[in-house]
Structure 1
Amino acid sequence: MRAWLTLIITLLFTVGCTVNRIPVFVSQPQSSIELFQNDLFPAANQVVVESEKDIFELPSEAKDFVDNYILQFRDPDIQVEKLAQALFSRQQMGVTYLNEANTVAKQTYVNAKANCLSLTILAYAMADYARFDVKFQQIGIPENWVRRAERNLQNGHINLKIRPRASEVAIVDFADNYTEVDFNRPQRSYTKKNITKERVIAMFYNNNGADYLLSKGYTPAFAYFRAALKTDPEFVPALINLGALYRLYGKYELAEQIYTKAIHLDPDNLNSLENLAILKEYTGNFDRARDIRKIITTRRQSNPYYHLIVGEEAYDRGDYDKALISLHTASRLDQHIHEIYFALAKTYYKLGDIDMSEQNLKLAKRNSISDSQRSAYQGKLELLSRNDQ
């Protein structure tokens, strides 16, 4: 889904009750923290960070598409419907999913590849150009992760809702007849919260920073995290990622101050605690790290995505039996997550059990939520069948 990333080293936030969620041993945050250690990254000011205009600017072809296709319909409700359909229609725009596609609107339109954040940015730009009412929404999905470069990246999820602009003569508009635009609509209903355009911009900067951090581009990573927090000072994923960057530079005290601030801003974001545990291990405080990890593990036991990522980690280590244990636990907790079945298929293949690999690939395909996913799994099934002949 990848709305925003948090390394472990981090990136997601969740919505939920915050009462008594902060462990007693976590100190109060300092009243003021010098977040931006510019001296550590003297070349950061030379990094070109996209402006708000850069992020949402449409290419002329996209404007022409809105003018000539969307706005040709006289009924405003049909206009909204046609825009939502066009984003996914192979005959029109045909945007396909790519988790790493953290791109501005112009690039997303040209490439026709997007993750949920870049699709939301493009959809917003087109809907705004068409003069629709537009709102961003944060979806309170459970914690879930992807593996990249043997690191865990935690995903968040956002979408967009649009409707015809209310009549200028109307004093009050009570209608809530929005159409949602969502790349990977969750299979279950989760809490939704309207968020600001500034937060979406911060997500974009944060994702770019996380990508650079993964590839050890520390100066541009700092530039993007700084831009995110200047845009939205309370965006927790960017705080956590900035703390992770400082940890890599040995600024342990500052990293802890930032993690502590993040914990108090969003006590339900367990990535703050997990990064604090990593920091405690770096500084030799293994007892405190163990205390923190016990809390994290207890809170995550009922989350199938937690067991999925534990299984993925075991798979990467070559411990396929351990991977199966975790993955089967995940599937018992939720029988409708296609990524779990794909992970099981990979693991059984490594163990030489082709029948179980094929069975789980079929389950992955059956539980997919998009045509592109189903097509990808079908391709893997055909490849598996040819290799088994």
Structure 2
Amino acid sequence: MGVRIVMLITLLLGLWGCSRHQALTNSESQLGAAALPINYALFQQQESIVESDTLFLLSEEHQQDFLADFNYRLSRGVRPHIALSEFLETRLDNFTFYGATYVADQAWSLNKGNCMSLAMLTTALAQLVDLEIDYREVNTLPVFEKNNNLLLSSTHVQTRVFEPSQEKNNHISYTRANVVVDYFPVNTNYAGKHVNSNQFIAMYYRNKAADALILDDINLAFSYTMQAYEHAPQDIEVLNLLAVLHRRQGDVKTAEDIYLFGLQVNPNSLSLLTNYIVLLEKNGRQSLANEYREKMLTLNDPNPYIWLEQAYRAEAAGEQSRAKILFDKTLELAPYVQPAYIGLYRIYLSQGRHLKAKKTLKQALEWSYEKEERQLYKFKLYNLNSESSQ
């Protein structure tokens, strides 16, 4: 599991892992200057929060271990960014890809962590030898976790480590070789948006806030969320968390104000819209909730997995018609996303529409290349054919 996003769904009554600074646009700066409504009286800020300047610190022993390996590889003619990557590869041989989020030194010592933890460790090593890095989100199949009436979905983040700049004829070469550090290479993944260093740090604090929320430690969750807000005040998922925390504390008015503030920042945020709709429905404002539901379907987010996630949520809420629309929208964008076919298959099967279910499975087979997957689809088709012949 990687970067967590807190989402509300109707059935659960509640709540969703990887450098350079990016200047805010004028409009963002003006919006950020507006006072975000936060009811501080509801929360007690915790003092035991890891400060951002310690996130990437490594112990002296770990520094020396890495530098010895890194310098040895350089002496053998390995380029610096490759040397760092090769060192991490040796670490990952025994690395447990556990879903928790750790700071860099913890990830090294424990030899485990999610994609955020790996990115934290990569950042620490790159800083130690002055290599430039950046981060980018990766669009993957959504991973869900349900805990303490919370539904959390995770996105994936990876790090790129760049070859040092070299001057050629008094000009810096802008063609930069780089290596991607990631432990989750899947053919259907594709790179999403770039993440600057402040946004990345905010992701760490968001994850820690979600962990605290699972434990129902509202004050700790709020403290982590405020740390994230300090680094990325325009981050939609940070605003999302703040709204959820206020709603958890019974302040529906401030929660709604925060959702509306977030929708000024990004009117097309599906996660924010989803949570706001739940708030409206829980407070009997179905007409306005329906307006926002219809608006969601008109959005043009090119990431098919965003729509797949929404389809899952609609299906979980028993909204089959809406789920079908969203599964279809997923496949319009990316016909290779096989879980969308299986979602449609489940819907058709529950409706007794066996011919449509069979057609959907055959379409899934056209996009399936894994032997076990193909066998599973064929088995389902066999069962459907057997039922039809009875």
Superposition TM-score, scaled by structure 2 size: 0.70
What is the CA–CA distance in structure 2 between the aligned matches of 1:266 and 1:283, rounded to whole Å? 24
Question: What residue in structure 2 maps to residue 80 of structure 1?
Answer: 81
| AA in 1 matched with 2:35 | I
What is the CA–CA distance in structure 2 between the aligned matches of 1:40 and 1:112, rounded to whole Å? 38
| AA in 2 matched with 1:38 | Y
Question: What residue in structure 1 maps to residue 71 of structure 2?
Answer: 71
1:190 Cα offset (Å): 3.5
1:174 is paired with a residue whose SS is: coil
| AA in 1 matched with 2:67 | D
| AA in 1 matched with 2:121 | L
1:84 Cα offset (Å): 1.6
Deviates more, 1:228-237 or 1:325-334: 325-334
What is the CA–CA distance in structure 1 between the aligned matches of 2:368 and 2:126, rounded to whole Å? 32
Matched, 1:33 2:35: yes
Number of residues of Structure 1 aligned to a counterpart in Structure 2: 348
What is the CA–CA distance in structure 2 between the aligned matches of 1:132 and 1:33, rounded to whole Å? 38
**Conserved 8 A contact 1:145-1:154:** yes
Question: What residue in structure 1 maps to residue 361 of structure 2?
Answer: none
What is the CA–CA distance in structure 1 between the aligned matches of 2:141 and 2:266, rounded to whole Å? 14
Question: What residue in structure 1 maps to residue 183 of structure 2?
Answer: 183
Question: What residue in structure 2 maps to residue 284 of structure 1?
Answer: 284
1:163 Cα offset (Å): 2.5
What is the CA–CA distance in structure 1 between the aligned matches of 2:183 and 2:60, rounded to whole Å? 24
What is the CA–CA distance in structure 2 between the aligned matches of 1:289 and 1:67, rounded to whole Å? 56
2:139 is paired with a residue whose SS is: coil
Question: What residue in structure 2 maps to residue 162 of structure 1?
Answer: 161
Question: What residue in structure 1 maps to residue 350 of structure 2?
Answer: none
Residues 35/229 of structure 1: CA separation in 2 closer, same or farther (3 Å cut): farther
What is the CA–CA distance in structure 1 between the aligned matches of 2:277 and 2:338, rounded to whole Å? 31
1:31 Cα offset (Å): 6.8
Residues 218/65 of structure 1: CA separation in 2 closer, same or farther (3 Å cut): same
Residues 166/77 of structure 1: CA separation in 2 closer, same or farther (3 Å cut): farther
Question: What residue in structure 1 maps to residue 104 of structure 2?
Answer: 105
Deviation string for 1:294-328 (max 9, x for gaps)?
222454899754675467668979999x9999989
1:288 Cα offset (Å): 0.4
| AA in 1 matched with 2:229 | L
Question: What residue in structure 2 maps to residue 129 of structure 1?
Answer: 128
**Conserved 8 A contact 1:105-1:121:** yes
**Conserved 8 A contact 1:66-1:130:** no
1:139 is paired with a residue whose SS is: strand
C-alpha RMSD of the superposition = 4.6
What is the CA–CA distance in structure 2 between the aligned matches of 1:211 and 1:224, rounded to whole Å? 10
Residues 343/110 of structure 1: CA separation in 2 closer, same or farther (3 Å cut): farther
Question: What residue in structure 2 maps to residue 273 of structure 1?
Answer: 273
What is the CA–CA distance in structure 1 between the aligned matches of 2:335 and 2:107, rounded to whole Å? 33
1:228 Cα offset (Å): 0.8
Matched, 1:116 2:115: yes
| AA in 1 matched with 2:136 | Q
Superposition TM-score, scaled by structure 1 size: 0.70
**Conserved 8 A contact 1:87-1:95:** no
1:54 Cα offset (Å): 2.5
What is the CA–CA distance in structure 1 between the aligned matches of 2:32 and 2:179, rounded to whole Å? 43
2:35 is paired with a residue whose SS is: coil
Unaligned runs of 5+ in 2: 9-13, 18-30, 348-364, 377-390
**Conserved 8 A contact 2:304-2:330:** yes
Deviates more, 1:280-289 or 1:167-176: 167-176
What is the CA–CA distance in structure 1 between the aligned matches of 2:287 and 2:327, rounded to whole Å? 29
| AA in 2 matched with 1:235 | D
Residues 194/274 of structure 1: CA separation in 2 closer, same or farther (3 Å cut): closer
| AA in 2 matched with 1:244 | V
1:107 Cα offset (Å): 1.1
1:129 Cα offset (Å): 1.0
Deviation string for 1:3-61 (max 9, x for gaps)?
3423336769xxxxxxxxxxxxxxxx89733544332123x233x11112331112344
**Conserved 8 A contact 1:4-1:117:** no
What is the CA–CA distance in structure 1 between the aligned matches of 2:328 and 2:79, rounded to whole Å? 45
Deviation string for 1:130-180 (max 9, x for gaps)?
22222x223363783523226432433332111343359966342321212
Alignment of 1:351-370 (within 5 A): none
**Conserved 8 A contact 1:312-1:323:** yes
Deviation string for 1:52-108 (max 9, x for gaps)?
23311123443233222122123675342232233244x76533323x321111111
Deviates more, 1:124-133 or 1:305-314: 305-314
What is the CA–CA distance in structure 1 between the aligned matches of 2:120 and 2:298, rounded to whole Å? 36
| AA in 1 matched with 2:265 | L
Deviation string for 1:190-235 (max 9, x for gaps)?
444251x221111111111112122211010111111111122112
1:141 is paired with a residue whose SS is: strand
Residues 86/319 of structure 1: CA separation in 2 closer, same or farther (3 Å cut): farther
Residues 364/297 of structure 1: CA separation in 2 closer, same or farther (3 Å cut): same
Question: What residue in structure 1 maps to residue 199 of structure 2?
Answer: 199
What is the CA–CA distance in structure 1 between the aligned matches of 2:302 and 2:198, rounded to whole Å? 33
1:96 is paired with a residue whose SS is: coil
What is the CA–CA distance in structure 2 between the aligned matches of 1:254 and 1:31, rounded to whole Å? 18
